[in-house]
Amino acid sequence: MAGSDQHVLKKPETYHLDKCKICGLIQAREREYINDDFRKALYGADYFASYGGKKPYQDYMQKNRPFQRMARILNGLNRAGNNKVLEIGCGYGGFMEEISLLGWDAEGIELSEHAAKAAQDRGLNVRCCDLASQEGASGAYDAVVTLATIEHVLDPKQFIVDAARYVRPGGILMLTSIDMDGILPKLLGRRWPQIAPPWHLYYFKQNHIAFYLENAGLKPRFVGGKMLPLTSFYSTKPYLEGRRIINFGYVLFIAEK
C-alpha cells in the first residue's frame, strides 16, 4: 500500500502532508527525519498540559468516559484465559485503571517519560519504552489494546506486527484510529483538530488499518465509529454485532488472532 506521493496539504508550522496516489494514505512528509529522541521530546509535560491543544490531559482523565467505554467493550467480548491485557501508549493509565476494576491484570508501556511516571505514581504497572523495546513472551496476553496511538508511530505496519506478537492465539487486539472517511474530517478538512503533525504522522482510512491487521495475521471482527452518544453501544458484545455506527472520524477495530 504505497506509491508516489501527491502533495495535498501544507501546515503553516512547516510540516507537509502527502497523499499516496495508489492507496490514499496521508502521511507527514517529514516523518522520515523524525527519530526516537525527537518523538520523546514531543510528549513531555507541555504536551499533556494542553492535550489536543485545548485543555489539560488531567481534565480528560477525570471524565474517564472514553476509558470506561473501551474497558466495557473488551470485558464484554467472549474470551478464555487469565484476562491479562497489555496497553500500548497508555498515557496516564486511564484505561488500565478501568479494565483493572473489571478484574483484568493490566500492564502498560508508554514512550513519554512524563506520562509513564504519572501512571507509575498512580500504582500502575507501566514501563517507559516503545513497543520495539518491550520485553515479553510471544502470546503472553489475552488482549492487546492501543487507543489513539497508531497515528503517532513512525511505521504503523510494523507497529501492528509487533503488537500482534504479544496476543495469544484466539486473543484480541483492539485499537482506535483516525478515519479520514469520517464526518468531521470530511466536513472540516485541514481545520479538523486531528490534523496535527508532528504528533500525528499518518491519516488512515479503514482499509489501511484492515490491511495492517491482516498482514499481521489478525482477523478483523468489528469495525465501527467510536464517538457515539449512545453509551449502551459499549456495554456488551451482542450490541456490537450487526450495528451500523456513526463515524465521526475515529474508528474502533477489534481483531482476533
Q: How confident is the model at residue 3 (pLDDT cuts 50, 70, 90)?
A: very low
pLDDT at residue 68, rounded to an integer? 87
Alpha-carbon Rg for the chain in angstroms: 17
pLDDT in tens, 182-215: 888 888 888 888 888 888 899 999 999 999 999 9
Read off the C-alpha cell for 198: 508532528
- What is the SS3 assignment for 244? coil
pLDDT at residue 100, rounded to an integer? 96
Written out in words, the top-level CATH class of the domain with range 27-184+205-256 is alpha beta
pLDDT in tens, 9-42: 444 456 788 999 889 999 988 777 777 778 778 8
pLDDT at 130 over 70: yes
DSSP string, 214-238: HHTT-EEEEEEES--S-GGGGT-HH
pLDDT in tens, 42-76: 888 878 776 545 544 555 555 567 888 889 889 98
- What is the SS3 assignment for 180? coil
Q: How far is CA 154 from CA 84, 91, 229, in A?
A: 27, 18, 32
Read off the C-alpha cell for 121: 505514581
Handedness of CA 27, 14, 176, 137 (dihedral sign): positive
Task: Encode 101-117: b = buried (16+ Cβ within 10 Å), e = exposed.
Answer: eeebebbbbbbbebbbe
Give the pairing of strands 126-128 and 105-110.
parallel
What is the residue extent of each domain of the chain? 27-184+205-256
Read off the C-alpha cell for 236: 456488551
pLDDT at residue 7, rounded to an integer? 42
Listed range (2-11, 82-91, 105-114) with the worst mean pLDDT:
2-11
- State the average pLDDT over residues 150-161: 94
pLDDT at residue 108, rounded to an integer? 97
Q: What pTM does this model have?
A: 0.84
Which DSSP letter does residue 2 get? -
Q: How confident is the model at residue 221 (pLDDT cuts 50, 70, 90)?
A: confident
Which DSSP letter does residue 29 get? G
pLDDT at residue 151, rounded to an integer? 94
